[in-house]
């Protein structure tokens, strides 16, 4: 598999499945295995040029579980603030012997540019509104797990091989969401149907780059069909115009509430990539209920990132798997 | 005449008039004067031994008048991304003999003093026979607040006014500029963009920008201003020129305006003829340009409009930027791409499209379109002589091999910057020889000076 991990669309369904299987193996394996002890001479740089707590910590834990040596810096601590270009920073890191770079950037292009400038693996931890591929892999694992836990048997889906039968709604601020784009690309690879629901000004006006079964500003059009509802954070910081929908209306029309779930399939499950705004995008009692996969998403994000990092750094997980 | 000086014979090439190719040998004497234009020159008629004549075999190549670029950024003043020298070298390799330099320098060229300074700098550079015409801003500092001193600038022989890089957004101000330039013979050229650069997105607003999550530039930024300008210039004797149009709607609007008798000309760039928004899928800032690369439909409309003569001119919008600038994140990297050296190849490749071309006769109409748009029409608009080869005049001509496939590399670039969108992309057509004022400046694609 290629060593860079930038966009979901760069990978085949087969490659993505392999990553999921690898992540699932890592989740169920004893990480005290000696193979993980041999990795401390591999150095991973975590460069976060945009605020992030969850993703950064998740990557750091993933790297440490793999036994990697992690060095991390964010923009206020690095020389980027002093005007050093990203190019100089990554060339310097490479010269210092870093083996791979994880990059979160507020620019869509930085990750592609970095991949061009240095020949060590580059992993995308979120680039502007374009992609968040490791989040998508984590969510993929979470959905596969729910299928294996027989959560969708009543909906006629009993094995991850039947992923294509899933009807998945992504709700809210689609237009500004890198998570929506990466998930949409992933669902396309596995043939699942994607529904986009949200206020008109937050829905794409043009082709978003993956097939969409339905795009609607009325949840009533599809709530009864959905197996999975993925709520997104409203990215106030990315809104160029003042947000036109008032919060009370938003919760009423697009919030994941008990009254919405009353119209959904009894088997329907709810996800949110976080950080969620409780009682706006999703009600507290839903977050904490049995239909919520939110904490599983957080947990699985670590194994998704371990799978991606170990692939990028050629760590022989398959060797461990065979033993 | 020195002993080494030889006459020069371009043998076996074709010239192109309005209707037909004509096989033409061009004989140039050692002083650079064209002394014969015949389908087969008989040297003995000129008392010339073959040892006294250097013969260039230009069989199946096109002999055309040098190109004229109505729109290039030569920087030089306050900017290091190009010098007059390097810009001229790039231009001449691209087959250009005349350039209009845009005024968005630092500071902007908006008064007589700075225009004269630019001319002085050009005078001190090795100009290789290329004429560089300095344009002026329409408003002071290109800020869109106060018009420049048109009278003084016109008296100083400035004939071309534009705020290029920005449009003149304010209606009243634009109307004032129109009134002041009426009946002056000067050109009022508009960069069609109804919003400030700060409000601009990164690329065309559409499918590709939505997929990438990049802020889009609505085509209405161009279309709305074009409609307004046409309203303002109707029934006025001002010479209005719409710069680098990029969308189908602009073509339609200009077509109707021309039919209604409005005094309007327009240009398109080679990159808007060849490239579309999907180039941005690479997220390479070298494809970030203003106006942005548009849709495949727009590209098709622009090609058709050029062939039909609705679009008058191909102009490069040559915009050098240093690598350090173009290596910034795409959201903040500057707009613009190189254009002078590759203009012919890019435009010709776009017009040929996917058609199979094996002989020069297969691409006659495309060559005709390009010679008109890159040489004859801009000459008419700018009032520049030349364009027809004549006996007893200094040789001003270029020799084009339309069938040669070329691939530009960084080493080929004469500019001070390398932000070419065509690196490592095969294009049809190359400029083989360039003669300006009787001097051979380019021989077999190489500068002689």
Structural tokens at position A300: 């699985």
A113, B205: Cβ pair inside 8 Å? no
Q: Are A134 and A125 in contact (CB under 8 A)?
A: yes
A interface residues, B as partner, C-beta within 8 Å: 85-87, 105-110, 112-113, 128-130, 175-176, 178, 181, 204-209, 240
The verdict on residue B300 lying in a domain is yes
pLDDT (average), residues A210-219 = 98
Among all residues of chain A, which has the CA nearest to that of B330?
A109
Among all residues of chain B, which has the CA nearest to that of A109?
B283
Distance from CA of B209 to the nearest CA of A (A): 8
Rounded CA-CA distance A231/B280 in Å is: 29
pLDDT (average), residues B350-366 = 91
ipTM: 0.94
Rounded CA-CA distance B269/B380 in Å is: 18
Q: B365-390 pLDDT, tens per residue?
A: 999 999 999 999 999 999 998 888 99
Average pLDDT, chain A: 92
Q: CA nearest B315: which of B66, B70, B67?
A: B70
* Minimum mean pLDDT range among B17-21, B103-107, B119-123, B395-399: B17-21
Residue B286's Cα: distance from chain center in Å? 19
Hunting for tokens 């990557």 — which residue is that?
A: A59
> Considering chain B, what percentage of its residues have pLDDT values greater than 90?
91
Please report which confidence band the pLDDT of residue A206 belongs to, taking 50, 70 and 90 as the band edges.
Answer: very high
Tally of domains in chain B: 1
Q: Tell me, what CATH number does B363's domain have?
A: 3.20.20.140
Distance from CA of A80 to the nearest CA of B (A): 12
Q: CA nearest A135: which of A25, A26, A52, A196?
A: A52
**Contacts with A178 from chain B: Cβ below 8 Å:** 213
Q: Where does chain A hold its CATH 3.40.50.1370 domain(s)?
A: 8-131+299-322, 133-295
pLDDT (average), residues B120-149 = 95
Q: Does residue A25 surpass a pLDDT of 60?
A: yes
The verdict on residue B409 lying in a domain is no
The verdict on residue B422 lying in a domain is no
Q: Does residue A74 surpass a pLDDT of 50?
A: yes
pLDDT (average), residues B92-107 = 98
Q: Does residue B170 surpass a pLDDT of 90?
A: yes
The verdict on residue B293 lying in a domain is yes
Average pLDDT, chain B: 95
Best mutation target among B278, B283, B330, B331 (most A Cβ atoms within 10 Å) is: B283
B206, A86: Cβ pair inside 8 Å? no
**How many Cα neighbours within 13 Å face the side chain of B86?**
20
Rounded CA-CA distance A317/B4 in Å is: 75
The verdict on residue B336 lying in a domain is yes
A128, B285: Cβ pair inside 8 Å? no
Q: CA nearest A152: which of A192, A180, A184, A189?
A: A192
Which residue of B210, B212, B328 is in closest CB contact with A108? B212
CB of B323 within 8 Å of a chain A CB? The answer is no
What is A133-295's CATH number?
Answer: 3.40.50.1370
Please report the pLDDT score of residue A234 as a whole number.
Answer: 84
**Contacts with A207 from chain B: Cβ below 8 Å:** 207, 210-211
**Contacts with B330 from chain A: Cβ below 8 Å:** 107-109
CATH topology of domain A8-131+299-322: Rossmann fold (3.40.50)
Which residue of A85, A109, A209 is in closest CB contact with B285? A109
Q: Which domain holds residue B328?
A: 67-382
Catalytic residue (one of B317, B354, B401, B412): B317
**Contacts with B331 from chain A: Cβ below 8 Å:** 107-109, 128
pLDDT (average), residues B272-283 = 98
Whether B42 is catalytic is: no
**Contacts with B282 from chain A: Cβ below 8 Å:** 112
Q: B219-243 pLDDT, tens per residue?
A: 999 999 999 999 999 999 999 999 9
């Amino acid at each position: 598999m290629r060593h860079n991990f930038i966009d979901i669309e760069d990978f085949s369904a087969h490659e993505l499945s392999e990553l999921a299987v690898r992540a699932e193996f890592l989740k169920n394996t004893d990480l005290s295995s000696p193979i993980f002890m041999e990795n401390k001479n591999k150095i991973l740089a975590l460069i976060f040029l945009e605020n992030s707590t969850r993703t950064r910590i998740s990557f750091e834990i993933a790297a440490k579980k793999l036994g990697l040596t992690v060095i991390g810096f964010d923009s206020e601590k690095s020389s980027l603030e002093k005007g050093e270009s990203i190019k100089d920073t990554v060339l310097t890191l490479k010269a210092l012997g870093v083996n791979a770079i994880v990059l979160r950037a507020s620019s869509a292009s930085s990750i592609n540019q970095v991949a061009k400038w240095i020949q060590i693996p580059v992993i995308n931890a979120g680039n502007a509104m374009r992609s968040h591929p490791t989040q998508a892999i984590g969510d993929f694992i979470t959905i596969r797990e729910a299928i294996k836990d027989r959560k969708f048997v009543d909906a006629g889906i009993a094995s991850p091989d039947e992923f294509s039968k899933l009807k998945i709604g992504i709700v809210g601020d689609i237009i500004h969401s890198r998570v929506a784009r990466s998930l949409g690309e992933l669902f396309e690879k596995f043939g699942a149907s994607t529904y986009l629901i949200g206020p008109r000004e937050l829905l794409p006006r043009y082709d978003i780059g993956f097939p969409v079964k339905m795009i609607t500003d009325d949840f009533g059009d599809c709530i009864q069909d959905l197996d999975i509802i993925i709520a997104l954070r409203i990215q106030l910081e990315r809104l160029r115009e003042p947000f036109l929908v008032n919060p009370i209306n938003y919760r009423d029309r697009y919030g994941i509430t008990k009254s919405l779930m009353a119209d959904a399939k009894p088997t329907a499950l709810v996800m949110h990539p976080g950080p969620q705004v409780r009682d706006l995008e999703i009600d507290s009692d839903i977050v904490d209920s049995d239909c919520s996969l939110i904490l599983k998403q957080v947990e699985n994000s670590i194994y998704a990132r371990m799978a991606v990092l170990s692939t990028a750094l050629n760590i022989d997980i398959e060797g461990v798997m065979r033993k | 005449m020195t002993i080494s000086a030889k006459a020069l014979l371009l043998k076996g090439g074709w010239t192109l008039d309005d209707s037909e190719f004509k096989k033409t040998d061009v004989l140039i004497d050692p002083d650079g004067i064209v002394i014969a234009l015949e389908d087969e020159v008989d040297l003995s008629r000129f008392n010339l031994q073959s040892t006294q004549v250097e013969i260039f075999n230009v069989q199946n190549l096109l002999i055309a008048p040098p190109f004229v670029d109505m729109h290039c950024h030569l920087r030089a003043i306050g900017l290091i991304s190009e010098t007059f020298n390097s810009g001229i070298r790039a231009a001449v390799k691209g087959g250009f003999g005349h350039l209009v330099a845009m005024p968005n320098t630092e500071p902007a060229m908006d008064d007589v003093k700075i225009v004269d300074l630019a001319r002085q700098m050009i005078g001190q550079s090795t100009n290789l026979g290329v004429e560089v015409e300095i344009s002026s801003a329409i408003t002071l500092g290109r800020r869109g607040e106060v018009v420049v001193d048109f009278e003084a600038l016109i008296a100083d022989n400035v004939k071309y006014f534009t705020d290029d890089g920005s449009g003149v957004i304010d209606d009243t101000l634009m109307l004032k500029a129109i009134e002041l330039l009426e009946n002056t013979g000067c050109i009022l050229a508009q960069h069609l963009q109804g919003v400030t650069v700060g409000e601009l997105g990164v690329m065309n607003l559409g499918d590709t920008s939505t997929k990438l999550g990049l802020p889009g530039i609505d085509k209405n930024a161009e279309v709305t201003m074009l409609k307004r300008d046409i309203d303002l210039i109707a029934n006025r004797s001002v010479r209005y020129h719409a710069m680098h149009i990029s969308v189908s709607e602009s073509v339609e609007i200009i077509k109707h305006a021309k039919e209604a008798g409005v005094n309007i000309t327009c240009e398109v760039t080679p990159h808007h003829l060849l490239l579309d928004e999907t180039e941005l899928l690479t997220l390479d800032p070298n494809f970030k340009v203003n106006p942005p690369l548009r849709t495949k439909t727009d590209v098709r409309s622009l090609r058709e409009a050029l062939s039909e003569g609705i679009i008058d001119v191909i102009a490069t919008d040559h915009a050098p930027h240093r690598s350090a600038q173009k290596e910034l994140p795409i959201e903040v990297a500057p707009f613009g791409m190189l254009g002078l050296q590759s203009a012919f190849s890019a435009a010709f490749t776009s017009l040929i499209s996917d058609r199979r071309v094996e002989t020069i006769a297969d691409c006659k109409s495309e060559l005709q379109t390009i010679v008109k748009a890159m040489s004859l029409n801009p000459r008419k608009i700018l009032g520049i002589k030349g364009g027809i080869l004549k006996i007893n005049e200094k040789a001003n001509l270029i020799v084009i091999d339309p069938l040669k496939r070329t691939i530009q590399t960084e080493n080929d670039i004469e500019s001070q910057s390398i932000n070419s969108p065509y690196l490592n992309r095969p294009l049809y057509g190359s400029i083989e020889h360039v003669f300006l004022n009787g001097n051979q400046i380019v021989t077999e694609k190489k500068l002689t000076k």
